A and B are shown apart, each in its own frame.
Chain A
Amino acid sequence: MKRAGGPTSAVDRLSALPEELLHVILSFLPAPLVVQTSLLSRRWRRLWRSTPLIKIDEQDFGISTKIRASTLEGRWAKFEDFATNLLLFHDNTSALGGFRLRCQVYNWRHVDRWIRRGIEYCPSVLQIELVGHVPGFKLPPMLESNFRCLKRLRLTHIILNSHFTGSLCSACPVLEDMNLSYCEFCDICPQGIISPKLNKLVMEFCSNNTRYPLVITAPSLTYLCLSFGNFLAGILLCKMDSLVKAKISVPEDEISEENQRELLGSLCNVTSLELIGFEAEVMLNENPDEFRIFHNLRTLGLHSCFLNGYELTDKLEALGSFLQNAPCLEKLSLQYCMFYSFSDSEWEIERKNITLPRHDGKILRCQKLKLIEVIYDHDHDHQLIELVWSLGRSLPDANIKLNKIDRFPP
């Protein structure tokens, strides 16, 4: 091959890089390109086979959920050939750095085969993302021999049966990070997530169809995020002693009120808490003995809370009773709370006279609370002023900061 006019002393710096760096470079490239690097030079011929990260993504083959069935069939055939061989030809079979799969379940057997093969390679990071309409896909059985190195697990649109949850503890001894999206706990029997070393757990849009409460026991857990999801059968947190940060979002009617209170109660060790969608009934504790004290709570963020029909003073009282149990609280953030707001382009809002209550009730005891941040997007009926006024009266030591941020930018 003719080299066009380059200096004869041009040194190949790229291939001289250590293999580790070349593997990092390959990890940024899509899988077909990674295989093509075998054509670059002798140094690169077998490099792609020992790379620690295997990424299989149907998007690299032009497959998406939007193409027609005829094109899908042709492209899937190519994709399947490639993926199967990519997995077959991989060198490092005993400790893979990471295995990532993202595809639709166009052919169940193919996808299952890839997942089994990927798991055989004992990955440290396993990410399976099924897209499109997934007719209920279960993982192959978890064996300790395959999952002994697994540190991070991320599953999307997978059905988790009792076998999965039952063997999670024994099969994955070093699991630190688990992220479940749109997963479903099936199998009508009590299920739970038990993991001794789990540090971070995120469950988004999962649902519990087991008719029993889902029990999460993770003594080393430091971060928990429960985001939407159907837990009408209940969800319980046990032994959350190490929990530092939690973010719980409760859609309407998906978690019972009692369950919400229980959840709150089990989070009493956290330092930073973010609650989305909680209502006044849950926060209000009439019986002060029942409610646990949040000893370490420093930052509390409420998003879209207190939106039901009570009077503002009642809502603030509920908030106050919650704050009383958080003696170390330093920062409170209220985002789009306390009143519904909507852009008034279609509605003609009648301005009313403000009557700011003068006898306000008690002053909330929260000495360390210095900063209250209120984020809103639209203000009607001067509800914002009422809110700020009432907050100011009940928490006189705190600074209140107002911020108008549009939730749905036009």
Chain B
Amino acid sequence: MAKMQPARFAAPAGWGWQQAHRPMAPSAVTIGLDVPLPTEPFVLSILAAATAAVWYPLGDSPFPPLRPPQAIMSESELAVIKPEALKTYIWLQCFDGSIQQVEEEVAMFCPMICREIMKNGTGSSKNHAIVLPERVNPASLSLILDYCRFHQVPGRSNKERKSFDEKFVRIDTEKLCKLASAALGLQLRPLVDLTCGALARIIGGKTPDEVRDIFHLPDDLTEEEKLEPLKNINDDPTIRLLNRLYAKKRKELQERQKLKDVQTQEEQKDERSVDELLCFINGDGDSRGGKASKNKKKNKRRKDQAKNPAKANSEPVNKEGASCVVPCKADSGNISRHPCQTPNLQDDIEYPFDNDDLDDGLDPAMREEIDR
């Protein structure tokens, strides 16, 4: 059964066959048979020989639905009659022109290759190789094929697969990036997730400087931008409107705060107890009524006081307070950044005082960075 001849034999009923317009080497052929498996050895040898030709079904679509041979033949028979020469191969061509052949079942693991074979019928010969997208370079391709070769075997345990995956992504970051890109090009989603997860693990837990070092990112942000990364969104006209509104409110608040600063600590305590009383009267969690705005005003002031000492500690925050768009005192500084993307922010505008503590939301992000 070693040598295959182009067969001259009766086709199974219902299928016509035409030899492709070019003679083909037996190893570069695909099988598209959908017949029940016979058991006599001589018919098996005919089937084996059939790999030397390409079969087309009668009817409109010129290409038969491809299936890896396992689907048609049982495992044991496959083991018996499938020497190396019988393995079907797919031809792949990288963007730089290099062509290589891959076992079919390995290549079919990639959805993009699968689709190419089914829809366009390419890949069956050297001259009709599947052209891979540009981002798939040969080195990544061979890595990907190793991955496919391992994972397409159905009998592996989850543990084996996991340990293979872990070892697989222990490569340097450059190769990892290229591999991720190539996996995306071939639409191999599990590999995309694996490589991106590995990249995320490298990024996580490091300062921006370290990350820039590892990946050679350009350090092209100005010092000011680094401290106020979210300033640019003020270009939105709705933001400007909100800014004006909040500037007014902030002025009012500052006036009140000046008055408050004169008062003693006990005064604040008193206020809090009133607050608690109000909460108690209104009921827990029932803070969405109209009287709630009063509560919020007091909440807001309380929060401001709580934040003031915290802010006094970190110097860069004061610096940023100075350079922010709307100049204001160094306390609850940067209120001006509220993008109003949809009119659904009405509920927030109803309670404007609450939004004042939103401004500090940017600070945690920056404070986190500064804290590091």
Contacts and interface: CB of A to CB of B under 8 A. Distances in A.
Interface of A: 1, 3-4, 6, 10-18, 20-21, 24-30, 32-33, 35-45, 77-78, 81-86, 88-89, 93, 108-109, 113, 116, 120, 135
Interface residues of B, number: 54
Nearest to A1: B219
Contacts of B364: 32, 78, 81-82
A109 B288 contact: yes
B contact face: mostly helix, strand, loop, or mixed: helix
Nearest to B226: A39
A26 B221 CA distance: 20
Contacts of B217: 12, 14-15, 40-41, 43-44
Nearest to A9: B216
Contacts of A4: 213
B221 A45 contact: yes
Residue picked from B225, B285, B306, most chain A C-beta under 10 Å: B285
A191 to B, nearest CB: 24
Contacts of B174: 11, 13
Contacts of A35: 365, 368
Given A13-B215, A81-B363, A85-B361, 5 more contacts: A24-B193, A24-B196, A25-B200, A42-B218, A85-B358
Contact of B339 (A37, A38, A88): A88
B263 interface: no
Contacts of A113: 347
Task: Give the secondary structure class of A's interface.
Answer: helix
Interface of B: 173-174, 177-178, 180-181, 184, 192-193, 196-197, 199-201, 203-204, 208-209, 211-213, 215-221, 225-226, 229-230, 233, 285, 287-288, 303, 306, 338-339, 341-342, 344, 347, 357-358, 360-365, 368-369
B365 A25 contact: no
A13 B201 contact: no
12 contacts: A13-B216, A17-B180, A21-B192, A28-B197, A28-B200, A29-B200, A35-B365, A36-B369, A37-B203, A41-B220, A81-B358, A108-B285
A291 B32 CA distance: 45
Q: Give the 8 A-B residue pairs with the shortest CB-CB distance, closest first.
A: A85-B361, A28-B200, A81-B361, A10-B216, A13-B177, A14-B215, A24-B196, A108-B285
Contacts of A32: 364-365, 368
Contacts of B197: 28
- Among A89, A113, A116: residue with most chain B CB under 10 A: A89
A135 B286 CA distance: 13
Given A1-B219, A77-B303, A28 B196 contact: yes
Contacts of B216: 3, 6, 10-13
B328 to A, nearest CB: 18
Contacts of B218: 12, 41-42
Contacts of A24: 192-193, 196
A159 B368 CA distance: 35
B188 to A, nearest CB: 13
